[in-house]
Amino acid sequence: MASQRAPHSCMRSPRSPSDDNLIPASARTYRQFVPSISSLDFPKAPALPKTAALIVAAGRGLRAGGERPKQYQLLGGISVLERAIRALREAAGVAQAIVVIHPDDAEEYEAITARLAPQCPDFLLPPAFGGATRQASVRAGLEALSEVPPEIVLIHDAARPFVSPALVARAIAAAHQHGAAVPGIPVNDTIRRLGAGRPYGETLARESLRAIQTPQAFAFAKIRDAHARAASAGLDAFTDDGGLAEWAGLDVHVFEGEAENAKLSLPSDFARAAEHLRIRTETRTGLGYDVHAFGAGAFIMLGGVRIAHDRGVMAHSDGDVLLHALTDAVLGALGDGDIGVHFPPPEPRWKDAASRLFLADAVARARRRGGRILHLDATVICEAPRLTAHRQAIRASIAEICGLDEGRVSIKATTSERLGFTGRGEGIAAQAIATLEMPMGEGETDVR
């Protein structure tokens, strides 16, 4: 299928299987379906990414219950799909990812990409639309990746949010060696094959059985051709890409999977996953405080928002006292120094720098260490300017910088009742508290 490109846009149109009649033609261009997606700055793919991930997220997931498909249900405050994307991004060797979605989920997916964009602007390619079956959805993703084909593709179910970097590394290595490889774990239960005339059936030798997982890793050209051949043969019921590859004549290698890489299908799976997260994390809190004196100027920056004022602030960077306090709060929760350690004022490169870079860096540090921000709470202290008219814009700006829902950001303002330097109108101050969820014991040093 030829690519449709909008003028002056770096965004590729998503792709649909040519035999999928469930999606109306008017919905096959993502910009037509959700015009606001054009506001996202999707990058062009690099010349040849070594490994790309294809995340299958077009199913309806009805067995999981709930009012939305299982991949969009929240797990510890983050959707299952977003957790899967983050897990693959954090794994070494995965250059880019494409997510195959259902057209009905376009707006919900856009919200996820908007949160992720500040932290991984070069990772997510524009999405593809899925088909009537999983196989058709995978084929749509492979067709989209064909424009700039990777060497290796990892095909992963969105409903497996706990894929580890080690498992991804094994998948990539196995694909390089064998061309087609899938993870499998031993079966611990007794398995019976039931048959006519034998109510209890027969016992299968579990020593030779494996429960197959994803990500399944393939040489891209081989699995793309295998999918094309299956479609041409009228076969569209494969639920496993390893099985399709075997049908196409590829030798499929089984490598070691992980029990924690479980697929979420039923309400009980979500309950176990929530408990799994709870016992592996702890809550940490950090405090931040910053102050700047007023000086010459006609505006101040506050929370990433430009606010008109009869004075500016004296600072090496843009002097955003609120973002500075929030940055120190996040770094404090991480036990990772302060803003002056990571962005020393004497360094010329930070002269007039946008403070949103500092906060985004602190958030990225938390995420690289497996953490996430639960809540940000801040108070701005000054006599002027008045912030009531700007509060919502500031809140939205901070949420965007940190990749958070606005409900996790609280911004307040007060005066010091004309006491002290803020009361005399000499400057502005901000206090902040950051609450983070971190892996249990992360960052601890063995002092024995």
Which tens digit of pLDDT belongs to each residue from 329-350?
A: 999 999 999 998 999 888 888 8
Q: What is the mean pLDDT of residues 287-303?
A: 94
> In this model, does residue 46 exceed pLDDT 80?
no
Query: What average pLDDT does the chain have?
Result: 85
pLDDT over 70 (residue 248):
yes
Taking 50 as the threshold, does the pLDDT of residue 274 lie above it? yes
Can you give the residue ranges of every domain in the chain?
Answer: 25-279, 282-439
Supply the CATH classification number for the domain 25-279: 3.90.550.10
Do residues 326 and 375 lie in contact, with contact meaning Cβ atoms separated by under 8 Å?
A: no
Q: Is the pLDDT of residue 15 over 80?
A: no
* Angle at the Cα of 355 from the Cα atoms of 350 and 357, rounded to 5 degrees: 85
pLDDT of residue 163 exceeding 80: yes
Q: Buried b / exposed e across 103-119, counting CB within 10 Å, b at 16+?
A: bebbebbbebbbbbbbb
Q: What band does 357 get if pLDDT is binned at 50, 70 and 90?
A: very high
Asked if residue 95 has pLDDT above 90, the reply is yes
Residue 278's pLDDT is 73
| pLDDT confidence band for 81 (50 / 70 / 90) | very high
Residue 58: per-residue pLDDT: 94
Per-residue model confidence (pLDDT) at position 443: 61
The Cα 438–Cα 366 span in angstroms is 8
Distance CA 126, CA 41 (A): 10
Q: Please compute the mean of the pLDDT values over residues 30-50 and round it to a whole number.
A: 44
Mean pLDDT of 8-24: 38
Looking at domain 282-439, which of 3.40.630.10, 3.50.50.60, 3.60.150.10, 3.30.1330.50 is its CATH number?
3.30.1330.50
Predicted local confidence at residue 28, as pLDDT? 38
What pLDDT is recorded for position 446?
A: 39
Question: Would you state the pLDDT for residue 150?
Answer: 96
Q: So what's the pLDDT on residue 244? A: 98
- How large is the average pLDDT for residues 264-286? 85
Q: What is the model's pLDDT at position 12?
A: 37
pLDDT in tens, 363-386: 989 987 878 899 999 999 999 999
Average pLDDT on 298-306 reads: 94
For residues 431-442, average pLDDT: 87
Confidence of residue 62 (pLDDT cuts 50, 70, 90): low
- pTM for the whole structure: 0.63
pLDDT in tens, 120-154: 778 999 999 999 999 999 999 999 999 999 999 99
Res. 118: pLDDT tops 90:
no
The whole-number pLDDT of residue 31 equals 34
pLDDT given at position 346: 81
pLDDT at 417: 92
pLDDT, average across residues 16-23: 41
pLDDT at 2: 36
